[in-house]
Amino acid sequence: MRSGRLRLWSLLLIAPAAVACFEDLPVAQDDPGRDAGPDVSLDGSADSSPDVASDVSADAASDADAGSDAAADGPTDAPGDSGSVAPAPVSTKCWRGAGQSCDWTVDKMTFRRVDTGDFTDAEAGNATFSPDACRIYFTSGAYSTSEIAYVERSAPAGTFAPEVRIMGANDPAFTDESPSVTPDGLQLFFVSDRSESKRKVFRSERNDLTEPWGSATEEPALNFDTVVNAWEPRVAPHGLRLYYAPDAVEQQIRMAKRTSFSEPFGDPQLVNIVGKTEGFSTNRPSVSQDERLLVGVQQPPLMGMMREAFYMTRDDWNAPWSAIREVPINFGSGIARDIAVSPDGCEVIVRDYSEAAMFEYVTP
């Protein structure tokens, strides 16, 4: 890969979207996988701590107003994964919309940095877009006792409101990180070291969008016997697949499936990554809603002295992936540790040692 574009040098440090912001999503005509789905609000009441937003009563009330409709009309189940088109996304005003489909298969795509508010002044570890892209969930706080938080906005590339810690799932005695949520807002997946000091994938659930998250339980198939630590579980925006990067002989990106939200994920399978550097590990997987785009990071195993952000594309969510290519983003000094892509593929968030940064796709 050419130098000067996300040549990611770092130490091996593994660090760790309410308001009703959903309207009918204009559908890009060239993308059958992006039909607007039912209106859904993604989260409920949230806790606050002294260093984050404390006024969340209006936020929770707004969710209560929107959440009852979402619980009745939103997706509580999902179809299987046969065919070439991924399940339809939730309706939202935080995607770029019709006529602005962001095509990563072109040769001359570029990105520009956008102002997103104060949360990117901090590390915002292992950040992930919510399925509607109105929120970013991330790891906040000191590494050894990090907690799950989110920030929220009302438009694509918009400024985010102050950070809010979630209620229920966090355990201050342990490291909870790498959060992602399903499109119905009722399941939260994350990694925690609360089990035998090893990082495993946990699931937290709730019955209503206004409730706090319930107690976390392990996701059995994802924590298989040879896993030392399970890193960066990121549920796909449609909720039927989960990508992560467990340490199992070597750290490589894997994907697990299910046919409905009521089921656990099945046995994970290795993702075929063509063109990665010989002997390198792969991690930080993040996919678009239609699963035609995956971004991630490759690095030497154990050492972590070099990290390179890459992306892969494919024709549909069941087609083979292309060979990897370098992500064409210049980020300050070129040092970065995480990467995630928005569900519409039009925004990318990356992180270095001191801050996170948002970049917006520029149509060639």
**323, part of any domain:** yes
Q: At 156, is the pLDDT very low, low, confident or very high (cuts 50, 70, 90)?
A: confident
Instruction: Output the pLDDT for position 333.
Output: 58
Q: 143 with 10: CB under 8 angstroms? A: no
**121, part of any domain:** yes
Q: Which residue is it, tokens 């404390």?
A: 54
Q: Which residues of 74-104 are buried (b: 16+ CB within 10 A; e: fewer)?
A: bbeebeebeeeebbbbbbbbbbbbeeebbeb
153: tokens are 């906005």
Q: pLDDT of 326-341, one tens digit each?
A: 998 877 656 667 899 9
**pTM, two decimal places:** 0.77
Q: pLDDT of 84-139, one tens digit each?
A: 788 888 888 899 865 467 999 998 899 998 887 776 655 667 889 999 999 999 88
Instruction: Output the pLDDT for position 10.
Output: 37
pLDDT at 16 over 70: no
Neighbours of 159 (CB within 10 A): 14
Number of domains in the chain: 1
Q: At 77, is the pLDDT very low, low, confident or very high (cuts 50, 70, 90)?
A: very low
**307, part of any domain:** yes
Q: What is the mean predicted confidence (pLDDT) over 165-187?
A: 81
Instruction: Output the pLDDT for position 300.
Output: 79
pLDDT at 181 over 90: yes
**95, part of any domain:** no
**280, part of any domain:** yes
pLDDT at 22 over 50: no
**23, part of any domain:** no
**332, part of any domain:** yes
Q: What is the CATH number of the domain that holds 186?
A: 2.115.10.20
Instruction: Output the pLDDT for position 269.
Output: 94
Q: At 152, is the pLDDT very low, low, confident or very high (cuts 50, 70, 90)?
A: very high
Q: At 72, is the pLDDT very low, low, confident or very high (cuts 50, 70, 90)?
A: very low
The distance of Cα 60 from the centroid of its chain, to the nearest Å, equals 23
Neighbours of 269 (CB within 10 A): 10
Length of the chain: 364
pLDDT at 276 over 80: yes
pLDDT at 187 over 80: yes
364: tokens are 């060639």
Q: What is the mean predicted confidence (pLDDT) over 63-77?
A: 34
**258, part of any domain:** yes
Q: What is the mean predicted confidence (pLDDT) over 28-43?
A: 36
Domain that holds residue 122: 7-16+44-55+106-362
pLDDT at 42 over 80: no
Q: What is the mean predicted confidence (pLDDT) over 55-83?
A: 39
